[in-house]
Amino acid sequence: MTEVEITEADRGLLGEYGETMLYVQLFELSLLGLVQAQEPAPADPSLEAGLQLVEELFSLTAGRLKQLARIEDADFGEDVAAAVTSRNTLAHSYLLEARMRLAQGESSHAKERNVLRGARQNFDAVRRELDRLTEVAHREAGIDPTLPEVSFED
């Protein structure tokens, strides 16, 4: 069995990848929040049911996803579709593809880190707009989108 050599440059890239995947998850939560803000409360509010809904959301076509989330702005709908495609690539094949580009000399660790930083910026922008749309949906439904102050004192 051969040893896997992980260089400092690899570690830097993996760190960027991990941070980017956090932004992906925040995007997923924001998209789920928008869909849920426009749907009746689920019969099963369990964690497992929520995770199942996330998987179902990301298996939809871009058009169906935009329809379900009631995204009316065509340009923003395309941004969401692009974010979903990017999410799928990052989750399923990015690391392998990056390793292949690096091994073939088609890229560098610095270029790959910049790609991931750009992806984070895109996910953050889409997430912020999804959150804004969720707040609008809550207000239209008569729900105060701000969380009440919680006290842990007796």
pLDDT class of 11 with cuts at 50, 70, 90: very high
Residue 151 reports pLDDT greater than 60: no
In a domain, 149, yes or no: no
Q: Is the dihedral of CA 89, 73, 50, 149 positive or negative?
A: positive
Q: For 94-146, write each residue's pLDDT tens digit.
A: 999 999 999 999 999 999 999 999 999 999 999 999 999 999 988 888 877 66
pLDDT at 128: 96
In a domain, 108, yes or no: yes
pLDDT at 107: 95
In a domain, 58, yes or no: yes
In a domain, 43, yes or no: no
Q: For 71-96, write each residue's pLDDT tens digit.
A: 888 899 899 989 989 998 999 999 99
pLDDT class of 152 with cuts at 50, 70, 90: very low
Q: Do 120 and 21 contact (CB within 8 A), yes or no? A: no
Helices first, then strands: H and E counts in the chain: 6, 0
pLDDT at 127: 96
Question: How far apart are the C-alpha atoms of 29 and 130, rounded to whole Å?
Answer: 10
The residue ranking higher by pLDDT, 147 or 58, is 58
pLDDT at 153: 55
Residue 66 is part of which domain span?
15-32+53-140
In a domain, 90, yes or no: yes
- For the chain, the first-to-last Cα distance in angstroms comes to 59
Could you say which DSSP state residue 63 is in? Answer: H
pLDDT at 150: 46
Tell me the average pLDDT across 52-70. Answer: 76
How many structural domains compose the chain? Answer: 1
